Amino acid sequence: MKHGKFLLPPLLALFACAPVGPDAPTADVPAIGPVLGAADGFDIADRECNVVLRSVTRAVDADGRPGTFCPGFSTCWMTFEAIVEIADAVDGVPQVLYRNRADFGDWYSSNSAYEIEGAADGFRRYRVMFAEAGVRDGMSATAYERTDLDLIAYVNDRGSRLFDHNDPAYAGDFDALVLNGRSSFEFSGAPVCGGDTVTEESAYADRSCDVILRKVGRAREADGRPATTCGATGCFLTFAARVDVPEGSPAPGLRYRNASDRESVWFESFEATAIENSPFLFQSYEIRFAVGGVRDGVSARAIESAILEMVAFVDLTDGRAYDHNERPGDLENLFVHGSDDFRFEARRGLCGS
């Protein structure tokens, strides 16, 4: 993580086109970047679960449109929502430190944090909104793809800034989470620090048919055309996965990423719809997923070279079960390739099929 420049205090904000409140950011402020390893010990890399970034998504306004924040008359910024948890023993309120790499490396600190429900045991959960000086609204899809946003959660506690380094994605002292347009500026944290869906201790590789990924391919519209999903950062190819779980189990989910992009982050889809023709004693679901996968509108060669990595899962009372029935190794996930039209089908006879 590089040190940010010291910045003068900002001018007072003029006017905002978005309402101020729990669902909108206030003006963010320039900040000093992390200075880890200094003699004063003011900045500390936290690996003891004092502060944990759980997720980052594009915020949505009350009318359902992607959120924007317009502190002046000419420039609007995309609004983001970070979910951050801090340990009950920690004082203070969490914030995020962020910077657009293209804008001279200047760091900004969020100025809007609201406590919400849903925290893991022993934690308090906050929604942290940020926007100003991050990602400009209204840019071209190409410009979005080329935009990189460094981000790290922190909390002021007893005279020190504790910076979240609990997730393997940014575990090094000088690492920060890198968001970009290629992943729609979204992030879903690893199951660390008693995570909101599953803990590391309770997750396990399933080889007993608790969840089975049967089939993957391009999703189709009602008229037979390949489906796409479009959002604020562009359009993505839509895929459909068939996943089976035993009758009476919760609906499954799918964790996936674009493996052809070395800076890609993991996404999770819970868009599961029960379907007919299930194997005996199983319920089949179709899970659709798109955002953060493979962009629509790129060249045929780019699509052909794209690779998606994925694993199906189901959240059970004793933990999250990850499907390793077809690929038994603990670290073996499924890879589907654009050169094969992203198609996969599990072997016949697997788990009663």
pTM of the entire predicted model: 0.55
> Which of 21-25, 126-130, 247-251, 288-292 comes out lowest in average pLDDT?
21-25
Closest CA to 264 of 160, 145, 128, 158: 145
Residues in the chain: 353
Rg (C-alpha) for the chain, rounded Å, is 21
Helix (H) and strand (E) counts for the chain? 2, 27
Tell me what pLDDT residue 337 has. Answer: 96
Q: In the chain, what percentage of residues exceed pLDDT 90? A: 47
> What are 46's strand-pairing partners?
164
Residue 35 has pLDDT above 90, yes or no: no
Kind and range of the H or E element at 303?
helix 300-305
Tell me what pLDDT residue 16 has. Answer: 33
Measure the CA–CA gap between 324 and 316, rounded to whole angstroms.
16
Q: What is the pLDDT of residues 286-325, one digit of tens each?
A: 999 998 899 998 999 999 999 999 999 998 887 889 999 9
Domains and CATH numbers, the chain: 29-188 (2.60.40), 204-352 (2.60.40)
Measure the CA–CA gap between 49 and 213, rounded to whole angstroms.
33
C-beta of residue 289 within 8 angstroms of C-beta of residue 241 = yes
Q: What is the pLDDT of residues 62-108, one digit of tens each?
A: 777 888 888 876 789 999 999 999 999 998 999 999 999 876 568 89
> Which of 113-122, 126-135, 218-227 comes out lowest in average pLDDT?
113-122
Name the DSSP letter for residue 155: E
Q: Cα torsion at 285, 288, 289, 295 (round to 10°)? A: 150
Tell me what pLDDT residue 104 has. Answer: 58
pLDDT, averaged across the chain: 83
Confidence bin at 39 (pLDDT 50/70/90): very low
Residue 33 has pLDDT above 60, yes or no: yes
Confidence bin at 252 (pLDDT 50/70/90): very high
Name the DSSP letter for residue 10: P
C-beta of residue 294 within 8 angstroms of C-beta of residue 308 = yes
Q: What is the pLDDT of residues 226-250, one digit of tens each?
A: 999 886 567 899 999 999 999 999 9
Residue 11 has pLDDT above 70, yes or no: no
Residue 254 has pLDDT above 50, yes or no: yes
Kindly state the average pLDDT of the residues 153-175: 88
C-beta of residue 219 within 8 angstroms of C-beta of residue 330 = no
Q: What is the pLDDT of residues 258-287, one digit of tens each?
A: 888 766 677 888 889 999 999 999 999 999
CB atoms within 10 A of CB 96: 23
Tell me what pLDDT residue 15 has. Answer: 28
Residue 196 has pLDDT above 90, yes or no: no
Tell me what pLDDT residue 31 has. Answer: 67
- Hey, CA dihedral for 336, 337, 338, 343, is it positive or negative? negative
